[in-house]
């Protein structure tokens, strides 16, 4: 009886200590979250998701109060019934066209084969399709299941051109000793198509469960403020520490690759995202990356 009482007290203590959960994928999106993980937030339990299936389960069962996701994936999960709001975006630039050939503008892609990842809401695929339609260009999009496989194909000369996100762009450059290089900034390609002033995309952001929004808005604001501080202050002022944290956590990507990838990415947190994300959603829907455009997506706080 006494043992059961002690166990119950420990469980109650754990519940009281951790009143919210925060999940981030193992990857470059850990960079804006590094300060939050290192310093911690009272009442917040931080963890990681490793596969898309795991992320989907976390959302559909509302097991994650806060979760960092590719924006396209998060939107489609909302479409599937996950009760979440998009609070802000922290990753704006990460996609590049890479090649062993010199490519200075998109017109040079006519008649080419372009390799990219096959996956739900894959940003590079959407931009390639927009490019084909908007410029009436004829090039072939070839789908491969993993970034390392694409890098191997490029290194072996089996393929010449690919579109990948960081840190795989930098990994390709380092693994091929500069034979394969970043040629075109795909955020600029997107901006040029739509005559946008800013060369960026809402690539990854933070989704917040409606459960915690309804029950503890004070905690929501606290965590979002800490995440903003991590992305906009800690990441910039403690860059080396952030890189080391991601390297130690991932254990799969060399530190020089992470460092190079970070300098070529655009990382900062903003909640003023509606205009650019609305355009992005419209394109995601038009090109089949999401099933519909959800209503009332954004968390205004």
Tens-digit pLDDT profile for residues 27-43: 889 999 999 999 999 99
Residue 110 pLDDT > 80: yes
Question: 278 falls in which pLDDT band (50, 70, 90)?
Answer: very high
Phi, psi of 253 (to 5 degrees): -115, 125
127, 237 Cβ separation under 8 angstroms: no
Rounded (10°) angle between helices 274-286 and 123-134: 80
- Average pLDDT on 140-150 reads 95
CA-to-CA distance for 249 and 286, rounded, in angstroms?
A: 37
Phi, psi of 81 (to 5 degrees): 110, 0
| 95-194 shares the fold of 21-93+203-286 | yes
Give the model's pLDDT for residue 184: 98
Residue 6's CB is within 10 A of a number of other CB atoms, namely 10
Give the model's pLDDT for residue 27: 87
Residue 14 pLDDT > 50: no
Give the model's pLDDT for residue 12: 47
Domain ranges in the chain are 21-93+203-286, 95-194
Question: 21 falls in which pLDDT band (50, 70, 90)?
Answer: very high
Give the model's pLDDT for residue 1: 44
Give the model's pLDDT for residue 132: 94
Question: 121 falls in which pLDDT band (50, 70, 90)?
Answer: low
Question: 73 falls in which pLDDT band (50, 70, 90)?
Answer: very high
Give the model's pLDDT for residue 243: 97
Question: 17 falls in which pLDDT band (50, 70, 90)?
Answer: low
**Poorest-pLDDT segment among 15-24, 136-145, 192-201:** 15-24
Give the model's pLDDT for residue 178: 94
Percent of the chain with pLDDT over 70: 93
CA-to-CA distance for 82 and 60, rounded, in angstroms?
A: 5
pTM above 0.95, yes or no: no
Q: Which fold has domain 21-93+203-286?
A: D-Maltodextrin-Binding Protein; domain 2 (3.40.190)
CA distances from 47 to 55, 91, 235, 284 (A): 12, 19, 19, 29
- Average pLDDT on 109-121 reads 87
- Average pLDDT on 160-171 reads 96
CA-to-CA distance for 248 and 104, rounded, in angstroms?
A: 36
Question: 219 falls in which pLDDT band (50, 70, 90)?
Answer: very high
Give the model's pLDDT for residue 13: 46
CA distances from 286 to 50, 85, 109, 136, 229 (A): 29, 22, 23, 16, 35
The domain defined by 95-194 carries CATH number 3.40.190.10: yes
Beta bridge partners of 22: 46, 66
CA-to-CA distance for 177 and 275, rounded, in angstroms?
A: 40
Burial class (CB in 10 A: 0-12, 13-18, 19+), 232: middle
CA distances from 260 to 65, 143, 203, 253, 256 (A): 32, 26, 19, 11, 6
Give the model's pLDDT for residue 5: 53
Question: 18 falls in which pLDDT band (50, 70, 90)?
Answer: low
- Encode 45-58: b = buried (16+ Cβ within 10 Å), e = exposed: ebebbeeeeebbeb
Give the model's pLDDT for residue 28: 87
The mean of the pLDDT values for the chain is 93
């Amino acid at each position: 009886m006494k043992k059961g009482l002690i166990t119950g007290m420990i469980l109650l203590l754990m519940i009281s200590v951790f009143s919210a959960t925060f999940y981030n994928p193992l990857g470059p999106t850990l960079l804006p979250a590094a300060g939050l993980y290192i310093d911690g937030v009272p009442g917040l339990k931080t963890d990681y998701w490793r596969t898309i299936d795991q992320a989907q389960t976390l959302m559909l069962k509302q097991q994650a109060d806060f979760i960092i996701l590719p924006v396209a994936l998060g939107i489609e999960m909302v479409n599937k019934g996950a009760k979440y709001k998009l609070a802000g975006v922290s990753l704006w630039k990460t996609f590049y066209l890479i090649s062993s050939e010199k490519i200075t503008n998109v017109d040079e892609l006519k008649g080419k084969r372009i390799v990219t990842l096959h996956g739900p809401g894959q940003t590079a695929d959407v931009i390639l399709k927009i490019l084909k339609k908007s410029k009436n260009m004829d090039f072939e999009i070839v789908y491969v299941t993993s970034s390392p496989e694409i890098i191997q194909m490029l290194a072996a000369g089996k393929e010449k051109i690919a579109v990948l996100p960081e840190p795989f762009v930098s990994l390709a450059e380092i693994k091929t000793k500069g034979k394969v290089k970043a040629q075109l900034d795909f955020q600029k390609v997107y901006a040029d198509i739509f005559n946008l002033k800013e060369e960026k995309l809402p690539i990854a952001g933070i989704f917040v469960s409606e459960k915690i929004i309804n029950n503890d808005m004070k905690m929501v604001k606290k965590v979002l403020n800490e995440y903003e501080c991590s992305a906009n202050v800690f990441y910039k002022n403690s860059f080396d520490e952030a890189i080391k944290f991601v390297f130690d956590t991932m254990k799969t990507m060399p530190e020089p690759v992470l460092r190079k990838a970070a300098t070529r990415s655009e990382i900062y947190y903003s909640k003023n995202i509606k205009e650019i994300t609305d355009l992005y959603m419209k394109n995601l829907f038009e090109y089949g990356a999401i099933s519909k455009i959800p209503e009332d997506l954004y968390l205004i706080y």
